[in-house]
Amino acid sequence: MTASTEITSIRGLSRTFSRSTMGMIGLILLLAAILMAVFAPQLAPYDPYAPVKVTIDDIYAPPSAQHLLGTDDAAKDVLSNFMYGSRVSLVVGFFAAFIAVAIGGTIGIVAGFWGGKMETGLMRFTDIMLVIPDLPLAIVIVAMTKPSLWNIIFIIGILGWTGTARLVRSQTLTVKERKFVTRARAVGAGNSYIVRRHILPLVLPLMVANTVLVISLAILSESTLAFLGLSDPTLVSWGQMLNYAFTRGAMSAGAWWALVPPGLGIVWVVLGCTLLGRGLEEVLNPRLETHHLAVGKRMIARSGVRGTAVADVETEEWQVL
């Protein structure tokens, strides 16, 4: 394939994607969160890790000019905490989802493609992992190991792959029965070549869209664990902000500003991921771009008939002649 066709096809994909309103909203939400996380040191008015001198008035101080979102139980600026907190959520989300999809994808493809006893063994193992309640297991493992950032990423990763494995396996099963796999075998291709060049390209779109959804699940798991007090105590995260606010009387003090921002932050990122995942699912269907039956008024482009609404193809504006 030449470079030019590759570029046009990427352009084509992005064009299709930009038509998906849901996907675009998700992308914007997620990009904004990522920008905030990356530039937190520049954006945040205070450093949440710097020690502060506390007077009684500084604790749960309501929003003011100095503290736009007020202060928390330790007299730290909630807005700064919120900005820094997004870093942990996103790092955990991305890395844990990556681990989960890598494990789930491998297990799914191996089980689906090779079949037989291997498949039975792997899928029964997946079923067992699926019925074990994730959260209690995660709590037990985190409690037994040190609740550091990487431990939590690893634990969420190794507990979150079951859905991906089942999805990828079912897709692999349908793809491997297609005629072009027999054809590739007739040509003389080996198993690994068939998996890489024939199965993977058709499973990958599903995995990409799934990854984005797994990210949102991982972020939720991280927040849940942090809310329950199982997070790295030296790092600020949204779940931990909720934990402190909840356990240290923000409710009774009426300090809504300590609870609402981290909660909304979680909703923001999870919503962004979900919308982006849905949008990607639409776009990555290979037949969608040029060979899909479109429905809509734009396909009627006749002109000159009195009284008919006519679309200008360029601007898609409608006018009655």
* Residues at the contact surface with another protein, assessed by CB under 8 A: 1-2, 5, 178-180, 182-189, 197-198, 201-202, 286-287, 290-291
User: CB–CB of 237/226 below 8 Å?
Assistant: yes
The HSE-up count of residue 210 (CA atoms within 13 Å, CB side) is: 23
CB of 14 to another protein, least distance (A): 17
Pick 190 or 233: Cβ nearer another protein:
190
CB of 19 to another protein, least distance (A): 19
CA–CA separation, 140 vs 143, rounded Å?
Answer: 5
CA–CA separation, 88 vs 159, rounded Å?
Answer: 19
Pick 53 or 291: Cβ nearer another protein:
291
CB of 195 to another protein, least distance (A): 13
CA–CA separation, 177 vs 170, rounded Å?
Answer: 11
Pick 158 or 184: Cβ nearer another protein:
184
Per-state percent for the chain, helix, strand, coil, to nearest 5: 70, 0, 30
CB of 293 to another protein, least distance (A): 13
Pick 112 or 157: Cβ nearer another protein:
112
Pick 151 or 285: Cβ nearer another protein:
285
Pick 39 or 180: Cβ nearer another protein:
180
Six token digits for residue 80:
């700064």
CB of 287 to another protein, least distance (A): 6
End-to-end CA gap in the chain: 46
CB of 66 to another protein, least distance (A): 56
CB of 115 to another protein, least distance (A): 8
CB of 149 to another protein, least distance (A): 37
φ, ψ for residue 310 (rounded to 5)? -125, 135
User: How far is residue 137 from each of residues 155, 182, 213, 216, 248, measured CA to CA in Å?
Assistant: 9, 43, 21, 19, 26
Pick 34 or 181: Cβ nearer another protein:
181
CB of 286 to another protein, least distance (A): 5
The radius of gyration computed from the CA coordinates of the chain, to the nearest angstrom, equals 25
Task: Tally helices (H) and strands (E) across the chain.
Answer: 13, 2
φ, ψ for residue 231 (rounded to 5)? -145, 170
Pick 45 or 115: Cβ nearer another protein:
115
Closest CA to 217 of 292, 138, 282, 313: 138
Pick 57 or 177: Cβ nearer another protein:
177
Sign (positive/negative) of CA torsion 110, 115, 120, 126? positive
CA–CA separation, 19 vs 70, rounded Å?
Answer: 40
Identity of residue 86: S
